[in-house]
Amino acid sequence: MKTIYFGLAALFAFSINITVSAQVKQAQNPVIFADVPDMSMIRVGDTYYMSSTTMHMSPGVPVMKSKDLINWQIVSYAYDILGDVDDLNLINGKNSYGRGSWASCIRYHNGTFYVSTFSQTTGKTYIFSTKNIEKGLWKTSSFSPSYHDNTLFFDDDGRVYLITGNKKLTLVELNTDLSGVKTGGVNQVIIENSSAPSGNDSGLGEGSQLFKVNGKYYLFNITWPKGGMRTVVIHRADKITGPWEGRLALQDKGVAQGGLIDTPDGKWFAYLFRDFGSVGRIPYLVPVKWKDGWPVLGVDGKVPDNLDLPASKGIIPGIVASDEFKRYKGEPALPLVWQWNHNPDNKLWSVTQRKGYLRLTTGRIDTIFVTARNTLTQRTFGPECSGSTSIDISNMKEGDFAGLSLLQRKFGLVGVRYDNGTKSIVMVNAQSGRPVEAQSVPLTQKIVYLKAECDFRDKTDLANFFYSLDDKTWTPIGSQLKMEYSMPHFMGYRYGLFNYATKTPGGYVDFDWFRIN
């Protein structure tokens, strides 16, 4: 009997392992547990490309690549800087937080990739193009006005259009070379109230993305019914000028704004995103079936947790990555996971002045962290993450403050401050809306290690900060930061490496590495 019992137990355990293994091999929502909002997506052959929004960050409009819709890596940016203006340069008291460039649209036509976007900061619409999306240079076309949440569309007859607006949606014809609005071309309102299918009291009605399937036009928009949640509506037409008929397409978990994508083997999905607290707006995939000429989103109208797609291998190193700052011949100065907070001053940073280190040098006086230039950032991610760094502070000047940040309007900092001839490890908490020094610890050595940990589980949105003198024993410092997604910044929290002067410019610090887990 014992032999049979143990045999059955082993068989039972084996069956559990098979079940768990099967579950692990299946993709899950969210597809990327990090801030990748306003996605636009295409498939070229067996490869998918996706663009997203990073607003005030530089470079901007990240382009990502995938072979399976689940595992993504950043391969390019549509631009290095959007414009050389005070707001984007973070100078003369101006900034572009929450603005810069917004919702993009990626398209592929006659061997060329196109990305359109628009900017409140510059008041322009932009169309970037390249033959080689991963290694090629992007050509820029820009014109006024700034067409809100536009979707770029190449029709079968060779004509090119934008659909733009919020609620009242307008069809605008462009010159075939995309240089601007076509004189005498189509310019008409095609939908008076795009939010109507979700109720007369619905807000929004934006985020347009247009597709043509089997000869019919399908237009995706996001709405927000009063007292409800973010909702997907779809309009359909036989002609691009209309008439258009609309219906509510998905209302679950607030997952909305996006469009359609198909796989080479004939599966269809909607790519959408969800507001998820301080980590930001995170991408979801929703299965799509076709019925009576309409795309039907979800499983019984719901967003599934699991997807019939390959499992995620994680977003490291495709979307976020550690960096030892060692650079070999032919490598870029900074991997694509990094973005500057606003346009950088390129004279004041280097990965070559001291090999194996990122050097940040101060170039002016600043009074608060969010106004300082040359903060180098990358995304935080869920459900939990930590970021740490090693910093050599030997060459700071009096009044300098350098270290590791969690960047948002209500930011948190752990770093080294040089005041009155002494250096201290300091934690600053701006949870109240203004920066408060929560703790200061004297420092007598030139190397210090700093760490920030984030908990985004179930929108817990808590961060804790630590320091170490030997990279082995970590000591908590300061107070816990209750992170909050703030509209003025309009993006999830980001790790940042910073150095700014409050008294005398010219000091510098060297970051040996940045590591995420």
Q: Do 367 and 293 lie in a common domain?
A: no
What pLDDT is recorded for position 13? 44
pLDDT category of residue 468 using cuts at 50, 70 and 90 = very high
Q: Which domain CATH number covers 410?
A: 2.60.120.200
Residue 63 lies in a domain: yes
Report if pTM > 0.75.
Answer: yes
Looking at the chain, the whole-number percentage of residues with pLDDT higher than 90 is 94
pLDDT in tens, 473-504: 999 999 999 999 998 999 999 999 999 999 99
* Domain end among 273, 295, 310: 310
What is the token pair recorded at 57? 């960050």
Residue 324 lies in a domain: no
Give 200's pLDDT tier (boundaries 50, 70, 90): confident
Residue with the larger pLDDT of the pair 285 and 22: 285
5 pLDDT above the threshold of 60: no
Looking at the structure, tell me whether residues 344 and 294 fall in a common domain.
no
Q: Is residue 465 part of a domain?
A: yes
Q: Within this chain, do residues 399 and 498 fall inside the same structural domain, yes or no?
A: yes
Q: Give the total number of structural domains in the chain.
A: 2
Decide if 330 is inside a domain: no
Domain, as residue range, for 438: 339-516
Residues 300 and 411 in one domain: no
pLDDT tens digits, residue range 36-73?
999 999 999 999 999 999 999 999 999 999 999 999 99
The answer to whether residue 318 sits within a structural domain is: no
Whether residue 295 sits in one domain with residue 355: no
What is the rounded average pLDDT of the residues 307-322? Answer: 97
- pLDDT tens for residues 445-458? 999 999 999 999 99
Condensed to tens digits (0 to 9), the pLDDT of residues 17-26 reads 444 444 457 9
Considering the domain architecture, whether residues 393 and 261 belong to the same structural domain is answered as: no
Q: Has residue 10 been placed in a domain?
A: no
* 249 and 373 part of one domain: no
Give residue 7's pLDDT: 44
The whole-number average pLDDT for the span 5-18 is: 42
Q: Is residue 249 part of a domain?
A: yes
pLDDT tens for 370-418 read: 999 999 999 999 999 999 999 999 999 999 999 999 999 999 999 999 9
Tally of residues, the chain = 517
The verdict on 219 and 353 lying in the same domain is no
Q: 121: number of CA atoms within 13 Å, CB side?
A: 25
Judgement on whether residues 362 and 215 belong to the same structural domain of the protein: no
Eight-state DSSP code of residue 156: T
Q: What tokens were used for 421? A: 């001839």
For the segment 201-214, the average pLDDT, to the nearest whole number, is 96
Q: 121 near 88, Cβ under 8 Å?
A: yes
Residue 331 falls inside a structural domain: no
Q: Rounded CA gap, 380 and 149, in Å? A: 26
CATH for 204: 2.115.10.20
Residues 30 and 160 occupy one common structural domain? yes
Question: What is the distance in angstroms between the CA of the first residue and the CA of the last residue of the chain?
Answer: 48
Per-residue burial over 489-509, b = 16 or more CB atoms within 10 Å of its CB, e = otherwise = bbbbbbbbbbbbbbeebebbb
> Which DSSP string do the residues of 232-245 spell out, in sequence order?
EEEEEESSTT---E
Query: Are the C-beta atoms of residues 95 and 371 closer than 8 Å to each other?
Result: yes
Asked whether residue 272 falls in the same domain as residue 213, the answer is yes
Residue 349 and residue 298 share a domain = no
pLDDT tens for residues 106-149?
999 999 999 999 999 999 999 999 999 999 999 999 999 999 99
Q: Does residue 10 register a pLDDT over 70? A: no
Say what the pLDDT of residue 24 is.
53
